[in-house]
Structure 1
Amino acid sequence: MGYRFTRADIAYLGGDAGRAALVAVGERPLGPATLLGDLESVRRDHPAHAAALVETVRLRRRASAKLDAADWLLTDDALQQATPSPVARHRADRLAGREVHDVTCSIGAELAALHRVCPAVIGSDLDLVRLDMAAHNLAGAPNVVLAQADALRPCSAGTVVIADPARRADGRRTHDPAKLQPPLPDLLSVYRDRDLVVKCAPGLDFDRFTGPEPSRGADGYAGMSWDGEVEVVSLDGAVREACLWSRGLSESGVTRRATVLRGDGSSWTLTDTEPREIPERGPGEWIVDPDGAVVRAGLVRHYAARHGLWQLDPRIAYLTGDSVPAGVRGFRILDRLEFREKPLRAELHRRDCGPLEILVRGVDVDPDALRRRIKPRGGTAHTVVITRIGRTATAFVCATPPVG
């Protein structure tokens, strides 16, 4: 759960004495081997604020891989849910020039990106501690206004509304839209006549509520309907989030979008308005595993059509072709065999297999357990792609491409 900050903590940490203490505590390792000793020293030097100081330093260190937040104040929960800075900047760029109200602003991760490209930004939240943190984190941003408000009680007009419902219920992460805080069905209903952007976990079943007809099931999707865009975003190969964009904020005809961001600042995007017709052919020279954003957005065929690829099987997301898209990691096929463990092990040993990467899709196989049973001991790296083609479980032995 992490330390529970108070408003008094924020006032201290944001003041001169607190900033100086954070610099001093930041010089300590605070690692597993030294933590007890470090805590004793910090308690001796700062008896009234030791826990808040140590927690803040450790959170800032964790945040450095996700946020441009060297001097920020954070909570553990807020950091876990905060949008990575490159993703927040991407979303802000889509809203450049608009006035925006983040109705679940928390510690201000979205506001930090928005205020640079939007003329006026409002941030609101029910949690006064997080609002105090946001005020600290956004100090010096004259076009940002903060307020305590319930996300489900509109208090602005004429702005684009952004919401990021908390994805934990009863202490556990949830994919039930009705258990988000605030509940996703309520958000969509309250702001149905506004330009709306809702950040969601990519694990939601978007097929259950997208399109003109609402879901009629008796679960968390009941009565939900979304006829706008669903965008799935990845960063450096990892799917980070999905985002709902109302129709007024999206290009005409777009209902699904995959956006792939890289840490070097490059990016590309794919939508369902692009062609999706691809040939039906046997395996080519290469296997390509599309970026997770493409898979989650349901745009595998569109990606294949863009790059002259086709599917190994129409129900499976692995693609194949005689070349690999630029900048993409492909697997050159060396051999193909029906998946049975004993022949596969013999083939890999024959090839002097050492480091072994196993990719599985459409077949019930545990890659780690299979690798332990194969016991590769050679010197040549290989990748095995196990998938289903028709009704046959098939293993492709491939050369392992270099990483990066």
Structure 2
Amino acid sequence: MASIRPEGLVLQRDDHRGQAVLGFGLESVAYLGGDEGRRALDEVAALPLTPATLVADIASARTRFGDRAGVLVETVRLRRKAADKLPGTAGWLFTDEALQQATAGAVAAHRARRLAGRPVHDATCSVGTELAALADHASYVVGSDLDPVRLAMARHNLATDGRGVPLLRADALRPVTRDTVVLLDPARRSGGRRTFDPRAYAPPLDAVLDTYAGRDVAVKCAPGVDFNAVRDLGFDGEIEITSYGGSVREACLWSAGLAPAGVTRRASLLDRAEELTDADPDDCAVGPAGRWIVDPDGAVVRAGLVRHYAARHGLWQLDPDIAYLSGDRLPDGVRGFEVLEQVSYQEKRLRQALAAHDAGALEILVRGVDADPDALRRRLRPRGSAAVSVVITRLGAGTASRATAFICRPSR
């Protein structure tokens, strides 16, 4: 049951949580996509809509557009949020949740390139982010979703870009295509909280794998998904971890038919246009720190490909169980930490060493040691003028293990 609120938004009942949530209605989407709505959006887009002016701006919009003010202001604000995440979507329509869930443009384009030349059905297409990327690479694209409002937005968005993609309303667990690669992006929140159990996704991952058994599928997952839990559900394909903009963005499951033979894990570093897989060489030594320490990209660490990364770039591990690497040459384009001094990790000893290096601005990286970087920084109270990084880690095993701090100069 839904009722139109004065702002033009819709108050809907979420059957899964029994809570009321706000969202756009079909009538609002039709208005925003029409000539009148577009002219109104242009006027509202001229307002600052900053935290300091928002109340006054909404009042102004309400005076001018009455009950339409809510959807107009919300749409303009969402478009501004989307500008960096989704370049080229200036005239698109979003809901707040759909924008939060949308795949970053560069990540969607990367996935679409992997599916180049294949017919693809995006069975959870939402407002069309993945469809727009797929339309540039796949041989044929169709989209479906259960949410009629998001489908209406997708139809508007793809038409804005001049893409004629067929869209239909369908349940992702009731297949409506044959001989296509099926792309799915299950919701990963339950009761308003993020879930890391793939069986608690919507639709659940186990149900997805059962429904599309024998089909080529690509399933977007949270980057923190438990690899063992996925394997326990019977998935035997490739798990790809993708990073972009300095952070890990997602995991994607590629069924065996979409993965190269022998590849079960992949790290894709879009900022560096670099990929590694568990089929790459992993001959990597363990030794004391050289000139540089390297903290590998999060996708490399998450995919369990630290040794493979080290072997490719001529690095070695400081400890076989720790992800920090070292080398005498820094790989091109990689941020590293030039070792100035190595000390036993004791706060008094570390404070003295930092003072000797005139440490001021202090970056602290920790692996394998129970230490809170922010709390430690406050206790160390650096007062110098030099920008210094401290890499804290545990070296060795058993009774021979020791917590060690490396005082370093960051490369940038």
What TM-score, normalized to structure 1? Answer: 0.94
Name the residue aligned to 1:7.
26
Distance 1:97 1:141 in 2: 20
Name the residue aligned to 1:296.
302
Alpha-carbon distance change, 32 to 142 in structure 1, aligned in 2, over 3 angstroms: closer
For residue 125 of structure 1, the aligned residue among 145, 155, 166 is 145
Name the residue aligned to 1:30.
49
What does 1:81-160 align with in structure 2 at a 5 Å threshold? 81-139=101-159, 141-160=162-181
Runs of 5+ unmatched residues, structure 1 = 216-223
Write the letter of the residue equivalent to 2:165.
Answer: V
Name the residue aligned to 1:44.
63
Write the letter of the residue equivalent to 2:188.
Answer: R
Write the letter of the residue equivalent to 1:295.
Answer: V
**RMSD over aligned Cα atoms:** 1.2
For residue 78 of structure 2, the aligned residue among 17, 37, 59 is 59
For residue 212 of structure 2, the aligned residue among 191, 199, 212 is 191
Distance 1:237 1:226 in 2: 29
Distance 1:396 1:359 in 2: 10
Distance 2:79 2:383 in 1: 42
**2:270 equivalent to 1:261:** yes
Distance 1:142 1:17 in 2: 23
Distance 1:156 1:305 in 2: 43
Secondary structure of the corresponding residue to residue 39 of structure 1: helix
Offset, 1:119: 2.5
Runs of 5+ unmatched residues, structure 2 = 1-19
For residue 339 of structure 1, the aligned residue among 329, 339, 345 is 345
For residue 335 of structure 2, the aligned residue among 313, 329, 335 is 329
Question: Quick one: percent identity of the two aligned structures?
Answer: 59
Secondary structure of the corresponding residue to residue 182 of structure 2: strand
Name the residue aligned to 2:408.
398
**2:281 equivalent to 1:275:** yes
For residue 234 of structure 2, the aligned residue among 225, 239, 256 is 225
For residue 364 of structure 2, the aligned residue among 341, 351, 358 is 358
Distance 2:312 2:21 in 1: 46
Write the letter of the residue equivalent to 1:376.
Answer: P
Write the letter of the residue equivalent to 2:217.
Answer: L
Distance 1:114 1:168 in 2: 25
- Contact preservation (8 Å) 1:73, 1:137: yes
For residue 173 of structure 1, the aligned residue among 194, 217, 230 is 194
Distance 1:277 1:382 in 2: 32
Distance 1:165 1:158 in 2: 21
Write the letter of the residue equivalent to 1:121.
Answer: V
Distance 1:246 1:42 in 2: 49
- Contact preservation (8 Å) 2:127, 2:153: yes
Offset, 1:4: 1.1
What does 1:70-81 align with in structure 2 at a 5 Å threshold? 70-81=90-101
Distance 1:185 1:141 in 2: 36
Offset, 1:3: 4.4
Name the residue aligned to 1:209.
230
- Contact preservation (8 Å) 1:2, 1:75: no
What does 1:360-379 align with in structure 2 at a 5 Å threshold? 360-379=366-385
Name the residue aligned to 2:248.
239
Secondary structure of the corresponding residue to residue 386 of structure 1: strand
1:154-173 CA distance string (max 9 Å, x none): 01101000000011111111
1:41-68 CA distance string (max 9 Å, x none): 1111111211111111111111111002
- Contact preservation (8 Å) 2:113, 2:137: yes
Offset, 1:144: 1.1
- Contact preservation (8 Å) 1:120, 1:143: no
Offset, 1:236: 2.3
- Contact preservation (8 Å) 1:85, 1:109: yes
Write the letter of the residue equivalent to 1:116.
Answer: D
Secondary structure of the corresponding residue to residue 24 of structure 2: coil
Alpha-carbon distance change, 206 to 110 in structure 1, aligned in 2, over 3 angstroms: same
Offset, 1:321: 1.2
Name the residue aligned to 2:14.
none
- Contact preservation (8 Å) 1:353, 1:380: yes
1:119-171 CA distance string (max 9 Å, x none): 32111000000000000000054541100000000011010000000111111
Alpha-carbon distance change, 21 to 165 in structure 1, aligned in 2, over 3 angstroms: same
Write the letter of the residue equivalent to 1:49.
Answer: R
Offset, 1:280: 2.4
Write the letter of the residue equivalent to 1:236.
Answer: G
1:60-85 CA distance string (max 9 Å, x none): 11111100211110011111110000
* Count of aligned positions: 387
Name the residue aligned to 2:3.
none
Distance 2:21 2:313 in 1: 46
Secondary structure of the corresponding residue to residue 209 of structure 1: helix
Distance 1:298 1:141 in 2: 41
Distance 2:324 2:62 in 1: 55
- Contact preservation (8 Å) 1:119, 1:143: no
